């Protein structure tokens, strides 16, 4: 039986978890940390997963996606296949709350240094489908002028 939580109106909904908001922020006055719950927590967890390097988390060295290792590489089918496998594996091992329906990685038509990682996923607990596009820049601040 799936875990549920009671809402303010007394109804029950599937319990999908609660986590820190991303990026971490505090309520007005700094008294409390802003948290997210449910589907929004899953969406933010996916963003964190894709942005985290392997070894970056002290107690979970295998958590993350390690996209930073492809910075400055030439975009070709080999790289797209590699990124697809990296993202698929990271989600498979670290986000059990979703079922990945589709994963596409493509180079942006207007910005050659931008990879678009498109996810389509379902949350089985709610039978809801969602889409997400994660932009990943292969070059960082190469046009900076001082």
Maximum average pLDDT range among 21-30, 60-69, 113-122: 113-122
Q: In the prediction, which pLDDT does 1 show?
A: 43
pLDDT at 143 over 90: no
Give the C-alpha separation, 66 to 52, whole Å. Answer: 7
CATH of domain 4-137: 3.10.450.40
Q: In the prediction, which pLDDT does 47 show?
A: 93
Are the C-beta atoms of residues 64 and 78 closer than 8 Å to each other? no
Pair of tokens at residue 67: 């996209």
**What pTM did the predictor assign?**
0.79
Taking only the tens place, the pLDDT of each residue in 53-105 is: 998 888 888 999 999 999 888 899 999 999 999 999 999 999 999 999 999 99
Domain boundaries, given as residue ranges, for the chain: 4-137
Give the C-alpha separation, 138 to 146, whole Å. Answer: 21
Q: Which residue has better confidence, 41 or 144?
A: 41
Q: Where are the alpha helices (DSSP H) in 4-69?
A: 38-51
What would the mean pLDDT of 113-125 be, rounded to a whole number? 95
* 3-class SS of residue 24: coil
């Amino acid at each position: 039986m799936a875990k549920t939580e009671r809402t303010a109106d007394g109804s029950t909904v599937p319990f999908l978890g609660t986590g820190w908001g991303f990026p971490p922020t505090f309520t007005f006055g700094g008294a409390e940390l802003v948290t997210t719950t449910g589907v929004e927590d899953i969406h933010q967890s996916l963003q964190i997963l894709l942005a985290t390097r392997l070894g970056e988390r002290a107690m979970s060295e295998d958590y993350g996606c390690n996209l930073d290792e492809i910075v400055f590489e030439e975009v070709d089918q080999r790289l797209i296949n590699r990124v697809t496998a990296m993202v698929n594996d990271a989600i498979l091992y670290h986000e059990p709350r979703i079922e990945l329906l589709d994963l596409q990685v493509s180079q942006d038509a207007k910005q050659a240094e931008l990879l678009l990682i498109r996810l389509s996923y379902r949350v089985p607990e709610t039978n809801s489908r969602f889409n997400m596009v994660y932009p990943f820049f292969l070059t960082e601040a190469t046009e900076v002028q001082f």
